[in-house]
Structures are given as structure tokens and as C-alpha cells.
Structure 1
């Protein structure tokens, strides 16, 4: 009579331990992907993120003007927020002028697979948002916060699918400011 309850507890603890271990691997994979995204060319290609599309980015603002987020300082600089993944491409609020560079996304995914081998490119979203660091005339790219997220990835239960459900969501996200690695 005690054996079924004991087995249920053992299998439940094993299942939860495997889930939390996989969740920890997902978080580490996102951290590695973020580091790769920060030091690599952006996945989103467009004004502010690549020199070819950024000639008119500062749009006549006086050189040296400090950039502030809208409403936070004397003179806001142009701002954008873009998120890119394979399902929707690149999208932004109020229309988007960014394209997705699949090869750059694949590089991030390959880095993440070192820790999370089941990861597929459609499970990764990379976002860029201007952060107000910098000044007008600063060499491109524009300073942004980079975010890497897992989307639509799930952990398939092994033992107790009826108790926990057939799968559990794996969620992870990390963000940090971009880096300018060009030497001048």
C-alpha cells in the first residue's frame, strides 16, 4: 500500500529534477547566445544597426547631442525596438524597416546548441532596442540593448505525463547592452 505512493513520489521528484536541470541548461544557452549576439553583427539588418542602412540615422541633429530615451531628456534621438525570429521575420511597433539575416541567427543558434542540443532556429528570438546611451555622431551602430529569448520550446515529460501534462514550457531570456568592438 505504501509502495505505490513511494514510487509516485520518487518518479515525481525525478521528473521535476530533470525539468529543472533542462530549464537551467536553457537559461545557460540563452546567456551564451546573448554573448554571441552582443559581439556579432546584428540579426536585424536596417537603419541604426548596419552602416549601409544608417547614413541618415541622425537626420540632421547637431553633432555631440546627448541621446536620451523619449521624454527623459532635452533632445531625444531616433529610437527603435525590433524583434527577429524565423516565424515572423523582424517586426517592430509602427511598421518595420528591418530585415532578418538568417546566417547571423544560425551562428547564435549554433552557439546555444553547445548547451541545449535540441534547440531549433525557430525557438530563438533576438531583439534590439535603443537604450539612450551615446550621442549624435557616435560611430554606428547605434547603442542598443540586445535580448535573446527562447520561444515555443517545451520539455517532454518522461514518467508522469498524466500528472504534469505531456510537456512543460521552457522559458529563458537574457538582456545586456551591445558592444562596439571596432578599433578606431
Structure 2
């Protein structure tokens, strides 16, 4: 099939060139995954609780990501927030910046890290929306984070880790 014969929304295969100059054929989904993109959700997240959403690579390497969060309309108006998260275990320059907001469902983000070449860091979020909270997340431009099914964690951070908390 020729490129000019493709209609919007019908692409199932993509042809490209890898880092070694080899021609490759893959799917759009694989391209998105390799570029650090993905989605996950929290169903019935509780107001006033912390949830662990990501693990960084080892703390001596930088990790960063754009994280978008949006809730559904159930009992309250939906919200959406966009964050930039930058992270490592040595620089003391860890940061979470809220780039955009339309209502709040997350009022705090904390980064747990340690100066180590073997240990990983963690990203926790704090839910601040009453009612039923089904929150969808999308991430992109990901360097070094592994996103997971969110797990409720204690308000007390993990022992041995340095904590940087950001309030929005």
C-alpha cells in the first residue's frame, strides 16, 4: 500500500529506520511504548489517601516525565492537571511543576529518593477530591519511570528515603 492510499485512522503498520540505519516495520502502539508513553487508572481512589504510581530507575540516573491526570464526572465536576516531574537521588534539584490545571483531584505529589547506585525512587500522589474518584492518567516523554497499578501507601514515607513533597 502506498502512503497516499492510507486514510486517517487506518494505519496498522509503520515503516521507519532504527538507530543503525536498518529499515523496520512496527505498529503505532509499539512506537508509543518505546517513546515513553502510556496510560493507567485509579478506580475509587479515596480522598485524603496517598497512592504510589511510579518507580524510578536507580537513583544515580535522572528520571523525568510529563504526567496528565483527569477525573470523571460522578459526584463532582471533573478535573484535569498536568505535571512535569524531574527526579534523581543526588542533585537536590528534584521537582514537580504543575503546568496546567482545571480543577484539582491531586493536591500533593511526593518524591522518595536515596543517594544510591542500586536503589530506585518512588512517586506518590495525594488525592484531594470528595466523592467517587476514578482518575485516568496519561504519561509521555518518559525517561526512567515505570508506571504501575496505583497502590495505596502509608502517610509515613518509606524508611531510609529522603522525601520532597510538593503542594498544589
Q: TM-score, normalised by structure 2?
A: 0.29
Relative to total residues, which structure has the larger helix share, 1 or 2?
1
Structure with greater Cα Rg = 1
Q: TM-score, normalised by structure 1?
A: 0.28
